[in-house]
Structure 1
């Protein structure tokens, strides 16, 4: 059985390993391995965050016209596409777009992570008055 610290860090480990492989090795096999690690980390993160959310049980979630998994994978797709363009593109005109994609992907992922913190990490402020 895994300790709580190791268990909680697994999706970030998968994502980090995928990004490290993506950025360091320029090989089609390494690219597919990196994409699989990133996909595994994203799926584990999404499943855990959806399970821990309190609000999703009370109100239906609206994702616009996108299906659930497409909506949930958007930040990881943006981040992966941006990093892939930075690493594999030889055209310098692609670099600004790649940086924008990577930053937007990271920002959306961070915003979702902050909104989906487990209930035990949320602090309730009491107002006396």
Structure 2
């Protein structure tokens, strides 16, 4: 059994490790493995996030995107911004910065509805 701080940090470690290996290692195999590790961390984060969701299902809006794609959008924006940073151009860093900031905004907005539910048990004496 892992301790709670390590368990909670695992998806972020996978995302960080995947993005660092993609950005820093020159081998195409290492970059591909970095993308796979990044997507694996994104999936683990999605599973935990959907388990901690506190908004009622009846208040959720139905969109035109499938749920599994919609939930991955912030991490996909981050991955796309990292992919764009690998391209040498003068305007690409601006687009990448916009994608990163929108990914952060979406992640923060969604984290408002994903908290652990605490159930209070009152014992009658």
Q: TM-score, normalised by structure 1?
A: 0.81
Q: 2 CA distance for matches of 1:42 and 1:75?
A: 9
CA distance in 2, matches of 1:113, 1:4: 19
Partners in 1 of 2:113 and 2:55 — Cα distance?
Answer: 10
Q: What is the CA deviation profile of residues 17-41 of structure 1, one whole-angstrom value per residue up to 9, with x for unaligned ones?
A: 1121122123321221111111111
- What secondary structure sits across from 2:91 in the alignment? helix
Q: What is the deviation of 1:63? A: 4.1
Q: What's the Cα RMSD here?
A: 1.7
Deviations 1:77-125 (A, max 9, x none): 1111111211x101222121111112111221122123312224xxxxx
Aligned equivalents of 2:16, 2:99: Cα separation in 1 = 18
Q: Is the 8 A contact 2:55 2:113 kept in 1?
A: no
Please give the per-residue CA displacement for 1:53-85, whole angstroms capped at 9, x wherever unaligned: 1324x4263241000011001111111111121
- Structure 2, gaps ≥5 residues long: 119-125
State the aligned residue count: 118
Consecutive aligned runs of 4 or more in structure 1 exceeding 3 Å deviation: none
Conservation of the 8 A alpha-carbon contact between 2:14 and 2:38:
yes
Distance in 2 (alpha carbons) for counterparts of 1:79 and 1:22: 12
| Aligned residue in 2 for 1:83 | 82
